[in-house]
Amino acid sequence: PRTIYLKDYRPPAFLIERTELRFALGEDSTQVESRLRLRRNPAAATPAAPLVLDGEDLELLSVRLDGRDLAPGEWVQDAESLTLANVPDAFVLEIVNRIKPQENTRLEGLYKSSGNFCTQCEAEGFRCMTYYIDRPDVMSVFTTTVVGEQARYPVLLSNGNPVEKGVLDDGQHFVTWHDPHPKPSYLFALVAGNLSCLEDSYKTASGREVALRIYVEPHNIDKCDHAMASLKKAMRWDEQRFGLEYDLDIFMIVAVDDFNMGAMENKGLNVFNSKLLLARPDTATDLDYERIEGVIAHEYFHNWTGNRVTCRDWFQLSLKEGLTVFRDQSFTAEVTAGTVKRIDDVRMLRSRQFVEDAGPMAHPVRPPSYMEINNFYTVTVYEKGAEVVRMYETLLGREGFRRGMDLYFERHDGHAVTTDDFLAAMADANGEDLSQFQRWYEQAGTPRVTVEDAWDAASGRYTLTLRQSCPATPGQPEKRPFLIPVAVGLLDAQGRDMPLRLAAEAQAAGTTRVLRLTEAEQQWVFEGLVERPLPSLNRGFSAPVRVSYPYTETQLAFLAAHDADAFNRWDAGEQLATRVLLGLIADIQAGREPALPERFLTAFAAVLTDAGLEAAVKAEMLMLPSENWLAEQMDVIDPDAIHAARSYARRALAGELEAQWLGLYHTHEVSGEYRFDPRDAGRRRLRNLALSYLAALDGKPMRQLAASQFEQADNMTDSLGALAALMLIDGAEREQALATFYDHWRNDPLVLDKWFALQASAQRPDTLARVEQLMQNPAFSIRTPNRVYSLIGAFAGNPTGFHAADGSGYRFIGAQVETLNALNPQVAARMVGVFTRWRRYDAGRQAQMRAELERLQGLDLSRDVYEIVSKSLQ
């Protein structure tokens, strides 16, 4: 496969002013007719370039240019394109071709899911339906006619507004849709099927009525209310926060069961993986409810950040994704408890993005090259990209950020642009020079900020010295300094924030200051302090960096108890727990008896019994760092010692504080009917956490406690919480509960996914055997991504299962990747990702992982899997 470089970008040779499509959907094949009005791009690099259209797996039937049928000799066709050498400057091209959606297992382009037709075009799926200039900087006005059998496909949808419909011969009918907003092909969508629809409406800030429709399979119609409520909430929020209104008369969402990712922001017709849309209290957990709200918002927000203003090329992917993740994070933070959202986001960034940034697939937020663009829908482009956008807000303030957004839309509405354009809008709207900020888009790797301090009691001066560095990443041995906004506060001996006055300032201002670190090393002097402060650094996680300061354990416990910044309070506790666990890991590796330090136990107990802490925040503070996060802190990862240490700590914390956990459990029962609201959800989260600690104690009483919660639960959060706790305890109750759950939900695949995932993540010796047996279950299918993610993906993420010392986990996942590679390369590529970090393990595991990667490399691989395998072995 060849590598595509950002530096090779050239404007398209042709533009497509109008795109008219007609899809005749059939049981055997689908005929696609396209009529394109093309003209040469005045900004093109070469004036007489041939017309090259992208197309893959298409059966070409005819080509007409300005009404004249072309003979086969007048074009050149290869596996990926159709070339017409001598074309006029402006002309109409009509193409007819045939495709086979029924045979499409890659789930890109047009395919069938549960008997219905649907599409996924981002990034390059449109070319699997018809010949086209399939790149985001070609924006066109689309008119689409969908023709299908009325009985099988009563609902026919595409982007924009319906303009015509009618009945044809032979039981066929059609609907024509027109989308007035020019858009790139990746935002095209088509859906046809037997679907029920939940209808509602929304009045925009300027008073326009918008029809809202959510389409699902008829048996799911009772699971759409939460998605609809979330949509209306998101629409209102975007008006209030960014002044952005919806721009069509109708907004539709369709849920499909077979979908490679979460959801897709097609103009006016979002398509969702059903797991991110369907929810009823008995089928969806609080976490599902929260994610649905967040993803509905995310896809809706794309209407402006992605659709109205889109990407010039796929290297700019973070322009829409980083920005839209930032927007959905801000939305969730504002409609729920903000601190908990921030903690969850940072936890995920650290445990996944920091890992990616330190491995062979590390890439900047704006990658300079790729082999397969689908491999770059990564935590770096999305989550680190969102942190980069957040830093603008930290640097410019909420108002300054809004000014930048306003200017961005004013300049670029209706255009395909770059992250440079976004940066320029932010800088120009605020009269700032942000040129150094550009490096966040260009340099990969997680910067490290090392902090040193000095206190001069005589003068009351406190000096902070910050040094930055960034590790080498593939292709980038040296890095230049970043512009890093480090939010800092100073605590006095009582734990109160001190007013801050920097040298040369006349008076103190505020208690948190954003220091702009731009050099490799810089100093700040705070004056007028009466005692030596304790620094609270990178408050609210103001920059996506690792900070190191030589805190003692006592100081971390002090910050965890007192820091005015709620995020840093959690983070200090997390750092303390990480340190303690790494100590336990070292004990276990050295054959010493592990013991929980008294100081840690006291600090932990203080949080556990603190009546002033909100339940959801308390749950965050009582969760131990994940095994993956601990693994990242070690030079040579030892999955068995990590698991043993963490299990030991859980048992010790459960045993020492049993009465307190039980107290918490019994006082946090949520009464009344299930409601998804942050307060109730926080209580359930804390209560289920207490139950999982108690489960570590084993024994009959705890089994009964969990079993009775399982039997009595009237909502999925509590049902699954109990089942998860039972998974930790040996005994008849576990198998019984698993069987009951299965019997009850055997016809609801989305709920069964939870059942698959729980068993595949169990850290037990027989897990692999169990997973292999579950693959035979009639509910499992390797062709449905959700099943693969919940069973095979959960096992791949199970640190003791995947990394079993005998290599059985590696061979199993390798074999699944091989099967998936032929069926669905995108899903295969996601599964192979667990092998990328093979160099971090001991020699035995390294050899086995490497052997599996080499075996895969010898196969006939898709571009997707090849890129990851070959880069991992480099």
* Residues in contact with ligand B3K by the rule CB under 6 A: 122-123, 261, 263-265, 298-299, 302, 321, 374, 377
d(CA 281, CA 674): 7
Q: What DSSP string runs through 422-443?
A: HHHHHHHHTT---GGGGHHHH-
Residue 36 contact partner, candidates Zn ion, ligand B3K, none, CB within 5 to 8 A by sort of partner: none
| C-alpha dihedral sign at 351, 357, 362, 366 | positive
Min dist. Cβ of residue 214 to ligand B3K (A) = 17
Specify the length of the chain in residues.
874
Closer residue to ligand B3K (CB): 252 or 686:
252
What are the beta bridge partners of residue 174? 147, 166
Min dist. Cβ of residue 120 to ligand B3K (A) = 7
Residue 261 contact partner, candidates ligand B3K, Zn ion, none, CB within 5 to 8 A by sort of partner: ligand B3K
What single letter denotes the amino acid at residue 75? W
d(CA 583, CA 577): 10
Contact by Cβ (8 Å): 391, 543 = yes
Closer residue to ligand B3K (CB): 111 or 377:
377
The end-to-end CA distance of the chain, in Å, is 16
Min dist. Cβ of residue 298 to Zn ion (A) = 6
Sheet of strand 59-65: strand arrangement: 68-69, 59-65, 90-99, 30-40, 14-24, 140-149, 172-183, 161-167
Residues of this chain, 269-328, that bind Zn ion according to CB under 5 A: 321, 324
What single letter denotes the amino acid at residue 178? H
Closer residue to ligand B3K (CB): 321 or 563:
321
Closer residue to ligand B3K (CB): 283 or 374:
374
What are the beta bridge partners of residue 468? 449
Closer residue to Zn ion (CB): 324 or 568:
324
Structure-block tokens of residue 51: 């017309």
Min dist. Cβ of residue 317 to Zn ion (A) = 9
H helix intervals, 668-715: 678-695, 699-712
Min dist. Cβ of residue 122 to ligand B3K (A) = 4
Residues of this chain, 428-457, that bind Zn ion according to CB under 5 A: none
Is 598 one of the annotated active-site residues of the chain? no
Residue 231 contact partner, candidates Zn ion, ligand B3K, none, CB within 5 to 8 A by sort of partner: none
DSSP code at position 132:
B
Q: 329 exposed, middle or buried (CB, 10 Å; 0-12, 13-18, 19+)? A: buried
d(CA 614, CA 531): 32
Residues of this chain, 773-832, that bind Zn ion according to CB under 5 A: none
CA distances from 848 to 809, 816, 844 (A): 10, 16, 6
Closer residue to ligand B3K (CB): 84 or 263:
263
Min dist. Cβ of residue 659 to ligand B3K (A) = 46
Closer residue to ligand B3K (CB): 98 or 352:
352
Residues of this chain, 388-407, that bind Zn ion according to CB under 5 A: none
**C-alpha atoms less than 13 angstroms from C-alpha of 338 in its C-beta half-sphere:** 7
Closer residue to Zn ion (CB): 94 or 321:
321
Residue 122 contact partner, candidates ligand B3K, Zn ion, none, CB within 5 to 8 A by sort of partner: ligand B3K
Give residues with Cβ within 8 angstroms of 102, minimum separation 6: 27, 28, 29, 112
Min dist. Cβ of residue 378 to ligand B3K (A) = 11
Within 10 angstroms of residue 810's Cβ, the number of other Cβ atoms is 24
d(CA 53, CA 771): 45
Min dist. Cβ of residue 123 to ligand B3K (A) = 5
Closer residue to ligand B3K (CB): 324 or 394:
324
Q: Which of 301, 295, 354, 305 is nearest to 541 (CA)?
A: 354
Min dist. Cβ of residue 302 to ligand B3K (A) = 6
DSSP run (H or E) holding 211:
strand 209-216
Q: Is 669 left (phi over 0), alpha (psi -120 to 50) or beta?
A: beta
What are the contacts of 366-369 at 24+ separation with CB within 8 A? 366/6, 366/315, 366/316, 366/318, 366/419, 366/441, 366/442, 367/6, 367/315, 368/5, 368/6, 368/7, 368/315, 368/442, 368/475, 369/3, 369/4, 369/5, 369/6
Within 10 angstroms of residue 173's Cβ, the number of other Cβ atoms is 17
Catalytic residue among 122, 265, 290, 299: 299
d(CA 137, CA 549): 46
Closer residue to Zn ion (CB): 324 or 375:
324
Min dist. Cβ of residue 855 to ligand B3K (A) = 26
Min dist. Cβ of residue 731 to ligand B3K (A) = 43
| C-alpha dihedral sign at 608, 614, 617, 620 | positive
H helix intervals, 797-842: 799-802, 808-823, 825-832
Q: What DSSP string runs through 852-866?
A: HHHHHHTS---HHHH
Contact by Cβ (8 Å): 126, 159 = no
Closer residue to ligand B3K (CB): 20 or 299:
299
Residue 123 contact partner, candidates ligand B3K, Zn ion, none, CB within 5 to 8 A by sort of partner: ligand B3K
Phi/psi of residue 807, nearest 5 degrees: 80, 5
Closer residue to Zn ion (CB): 324 or 430:
324
Closer residue to Zn ion (CB): 270 or 542:
270
Min dist. Cβ of residue 382 to ligand B3K (A) = 7
The b/e string for 86-112 (b: 16+ C-beta within 10 A; e otherwise) is: ebeeebebbbbbebebeebbbbbbbbb
Give residues with Cβ within 8 angstroms of 415, minimum separation 6: 139, 309, 310
Task: Give residue number: closest CB to ligand B3K.
Answer: 122
Residue 392 contact partner, candidates Zn ion, ligand B3K, none, CB within 5 to 8 A by sort of partner: none
Min dist. Cβ of residue 319 to ligand B3K (A) = 12
The b/e string for 685-720 (b: 16+ C-beta within 10 A; e otherwise) is: bbbbbbbbbbbbbeeeebbebbbebbeebebbbbbb
Residue 54 contact partner, candidates ligand B3K, Zn ion, none, CB within 5 to 8 A by sort of partner: none
Active site residues: 299
Q: Footprint of Zn ion on this chain (CB under 5 A)?
A: 321, 324
